[in-house]
Copies of this chain bind each other. A is one copy, B any other.
Amino acid sequence: MRKIAAAVALSAAALAARAEEGMWTYNAFPKEKVEAAYGVKITDAWLDHVRLSSARLAQGCSASFVSKDGLVMTNHHCVEGCLEQLSTAEKNYIANGFYAKSAADEVKCPVLEVNQLVEITDVTARVKKATAGLEGQKFSDAQKAAIGKIEEECQTSPALRCNVVSLYHGGIYNLYKYRRYQDVRIVFAPEFGIAFFGGDPDNFNFPRYDLDVSFVRVYEDGKPLKAEHFFRWSKAGPKDGQLVFVSGHPGGTDRQLTVAQLEYQRDVALPERIARLSELRGATVEFQNRGPEQKRISQGLLFGVENSLKAFKGNRQALVDKEFFAGKVAAESAFKKKLAGDPKDGPAALKAFSSIQEAEDLRRNVRYDLAYVMGSSGFMTDYFAFARTLVRGAEERTKPNEVRLEEFQEAQLPAVTQRLFSTAPIYDDFEIFKLTWSLTKLREDLGPDHPFVKKVLGSESPSDVATRLVHGTKLKDLALRKKLWEGGKAAVAASNDPMIAFALLVDPDSRAVRKMYENEIDSVVKKGSEAIAQARFALEGTSNYPDATFTLRLSYGTVKGWKEGKKEIAPFTTLAGAFERNTGRDPFALPRSWLDAKGKLDLATPFDFVATTDIIGGNSGSPVVNADAEVVGLVFDGNIWSLGGDYGFDPKLNRTVAVDSAALTEALEKIYGAKRILDELVPGK
């Protein structure tokens, strides 16, 4: 089995055992494992090329460079915000899609940022030295200062994004240096009806028939980027049983959490988040019933809510699986036994389990204060986000970099101003809807007698406050936001804008709770996790992969279906299947363009497929590449079992769901006539 010939001869069924769990960092990819299992040699040059051809959307997705002229492929749902922002009541790019027939037609997305990971540096020793022997606030201040300093040194230009990332829960600290591109223009998006065919009912399911793709282009100095690294295009797509790689940015996994942390997720965080999002979903669907314009402007919110909802439900499902949870409890207990026999790291790690338990108990008690007083769960409106940024930005920028709130440290400012100066339209009725709803939740969860609620509402109702603030604020005006940002503290203090006044009003309470959170919960968990990670590290080294943290990772696996009970789920669907599933009614209505093109299409073309690669939310938009680093697919989802992937990977059931590059080629050519794009993907064809 360790020889190439033998590996090739393996049947698809036998491959199951080889499907490898893991979201590996590029500097610790298990090349030997892949070679041993698949007979494929992965070189450092290959890894560098794949890394530099991969991209991240700072807003929370993955992507890939696919042409020498800076063309970037990602999912439709990753640029839906941009399409919504560019649309108007007359031009609905969500419903009807978008295609820039010429370079001149490419339009800038108001808040899209593309990042390319250019360098990884280990800074563990420096960070740990800064915090050695410290606890509580001193620990967290020292850590923040050390990280701020490292990032500041790296941040030699606004075109860089430097992040010190914690891996293995503080076992390792790496400095990730990204090239940052903020001029990103939309090139192509299909209609929502096919990008999200099957809608919420089919989301996280398979078989599936979605063309969840979009192309954007990165510009530099007003011109298309000259990309040194990009993926070549496979017109044929992948084959059943083939080795594939997914390079992307899994947002976060919780596979190393302690049982106390998992219990908090299972018993408190997930059920409460699900209830909150369910209510918001009900309200938003019904808001959409007010009319087509309301439907258009709230589509992005609804998609986000339903998508998260399904993900959280899947997470919860995994944690209430008795066998699964018992496994976690048993593993922790076995690990603690090992620790008891480890005089070096054991005592600190064992103590850390208790201190994390205490921090989680405290978190449970103060969770509503964290969400509503510290956070802005009660103030769901773009205007409040602007106002808080202006108020805090003015204050924080007067301080030395390393003592600022971390989101206002120099390395973060380009992203902050990109959001603050977004030209995306804002619809006041929608803002009132969201703010009223969230203020009502604030009152409900904190209780009407909470001093913060009295401060926020006084004798007004949530709807009174929302209407007054949204109608009163002038922050829709971009020039005003720029003026206030540039004017700093004096300008903010002189402003008589009611939303600025509101943000000032709630700021002291928010900062007070944040301080408590950082000292008594966050730093305790961080420090405790570090102690546990250090002990685990001493036992395992980097032979295991770190939990996902929205940093670039490489997964590998095979194209392969699975068994659902007694039913075999085949790994591929075809274009024909989409036409069979079409009912003409949303969300199962194929767009006009597809119905019209049906006769021209090769209906046997593979459409979507599944693979055993280990992914999670944030991997949306990741390229699926073959051993030759050619794009064979585009990740847009996982199956329902992938949702347990937050806490563990089950190779029998967990599957990545991707669009086949063959379907992308067929659709671009025969449905959308997108010759410009095809010529770029397959030059000289």
Instruction: Report which A residues bind B (CB closer than 8 A).
Output: 198, 200-202, 205, 263, 267-268, 271, 274-276, 278-287, 289-290, 313, 316, 320, 322, 437, 443-444, 447-448, 459-461, 464, 583-586, 588
Identify whether the interface residues of A are mostly helix, strand, loop, or mixed.
helix
Inter-subunit contact A201/B583 (CB<8 Å): no
Inter-subunit contact A583/B320 (CB<8 Å): no
A283–B289 alpha-carbon span in the complex (Å): 10
A459–B589 alpha-carbon span in the complex (Å): 10
Residues of the B chain whose Cβ atoms lie less than 8 Å from the Cβ of A275: 271, 274-275, 278, 313
Residues of the B chain whose Cβ atoms lie less than 8 Å from the Cβ of A444: 200-201
Residues of the B chain whose Cβ atoms lie less than 8 Å from the Cβ of A198: 448
Inter-subunit contact B448/A202 (CB<8 Å): yes
Residues of the B chain whose Cβ atoms lie less than 8 Å from the Cβ of A200: 444
- Select the residue from A268, A282, A459, A588 with max chain B CB neighbours within 10 A: A282
Of the candidates B271, B285, B464, the one whose C-beta lies within 8 Å of that of A283 is B285
Closest chain B residue to A198, Cβ basis: B448
* Shortest beta-carbon contacts, A-B, top 7: A282-B282, A286-B286, A282-B283, A459-B583, A279-B282, A267-B320, A278-B278
With known contacts A268-B320, A283-B285, A201–B448 Cβ distance under 8 A: yes
Inter-subunit contact A585/B448 (CB<8 Å): no
Inter-subunit contact B281/A205 (CB<8 Å): no
Please name 10 further chain A to chain B contacts, defined as beta carbons within 8 Å, in addition to the given A198-B448, A271-B271, A282-B286, sorted by A numbering. Answer: A200-B444, A201-B448, A271-B316, A275-B275, A275-B313, A282-B284, A282-B437, A459-B585, A461-B583, A464-B585
- Select the residue from A268, A279, A281 with max chain B CB neighbours within 10 A: A279
Residues of the B chain whose Cβ atoms lie less than 8 Å from the Cβ of A284: 282, 286
A437–B268 alpha-carbon span in the complex (Å): 27
A586–B320 alpha-carbon span in the complex (Å): 39
Closest CB of chain B to A149's CB: distance in Å? Answer: 42
Residues of the B chain whose Cβ atoms lie less than 8 Å from the Cβ of A320: 267-268
Closest chain B residue to A364, Cβ basis: B320
Residues of the B chain whose Cβ atoms lie less than 8 Å from the Cβ of A289: 286
Residues of the B chain whose Cβ atoms lie less than 8 Å from the Cβ of A586: 461
A279–B205 alpha-carbon span in the complex (Å): 22
Residues of the B chain whose Cβ atoms lie less than 8 Å from the Cβ of A202: 448
Residues of the B chain whose Cβ atoms lie less than 8 Å from the Cβ of A443: 201
Residues of the B chain whose Cβ atoms lie less than 8 Å from the Cβ of A290: 290
Residues of the B chain whose Cβ atoms lie less than 8 Å from the Cβ of A263: 322
Inter-subunit contact B278/A276 (CB<8 Å): yes
Can you list 9 pairs linking A and B with CB atoms under 8 Å apart?
A: A201-B447, A205-B447, A275-B278, A275-B313, A280-B282, A283-B285, A290-B290, A459-B585, A460-B585
- Select the residue from A200, A444, A464, A586 with max chain B CB neighbours within 10 A: A444
Closest chain B residue to A274, Cβ basis: B275
Residues of the B chain whose Cβ atoms lie less than 8 Å from the Cβ of A278: 275-276, 278-279, 282
A341–B388 alpha-carbon span in the complex (Å): 67
A287–B588 alpha-carbon span in the complex (Å): 25
Residues of the B chain whose Cβ atoms lie less than 8 Å from the Cβ of A286: 282-284, 286-287, 289
Residues of the B chain whose Cβ atoms lie less than 8 Å from the Cβ of A464: 585
A319–B80 alpha-carbon span in the complex (Å): 40
Closest chain B residue to A443, Cβ basis: B201
A327–B320 alpha-carbon span in the complex (Å): 20
Closest CB of chain B to A297's CB: distance in Å? Answer: 15
Inter-subunit contact A459/B281 (CB<8 Å): no
Of the candidates B281, B461, B588, the one whose C-beta lies within 8 Å of that of A585 is B461
Residues of the B chain whose Cβ atoms lie less than 8 Å from the Cβ of A267: 320
Of the candidates B281, B447, B459, B588, the one whose C-beta lies within 8 Å of that of A282 is B281
Closest chain B residue to A582, Cβ basis: B459
A638–B320 alpha-carbon span in the complex (Å): 30
- Select the residue from A201, A281, A459 with max chain B CB neighbours within 10 A: A201
A583–B276 alpha-carbon span in the complex (Å): 27
Closest CB of chain B to A677's CB: distance in Å? Answer: 32
Closest CB of chain B to A196's CB: distance in Å? Answer: 14
Residues of the B chain whose Cβ atoms lie less than 8 Å from the Cβ of A584: 459
Closest chain B residue to A280, Cβ basis: B282
Closest chain B residue to A283, Cβ basis: B282
Residues of the B chain whose Cβ atoms lie less than 8 Å from the Cβ of A268: 320
Closest CB of chain B to A630's CB: distance in Å? Answer: 33
Inter-subunit contact A274/B271 (CB<8 Å): yes
A358–B282 alpha-carbon span in the complex (Å): 35
Closest chain B residue to A584, Cβ basis: B459
Closest chain B residue to A264, Cβ basis: B320
A437–B289 alpha-carbon span in the complex (Å): 12
A585–B448 alpha-carbon span in the complex (Å): 13
Closest chain B residue to A640, Cβ basis: B447
Closest CB of chain B to A454's CB: distance in Å? Answer: 10
Residues of the B chain whose Cβ atoms lie less than 8 Å from the Cβ of A460: 583, 585
Closest chain B residue to A270, Cβ basis: B271
A198–B280 alpha-carbon span in the complex (Å): 22
Closest chain B residue to A286, Cβ basis: B286
A336–B175 alpha-carbon span in the complex (Å): 57
A583–B459 alpha-carbon span in the complex (Å): 5
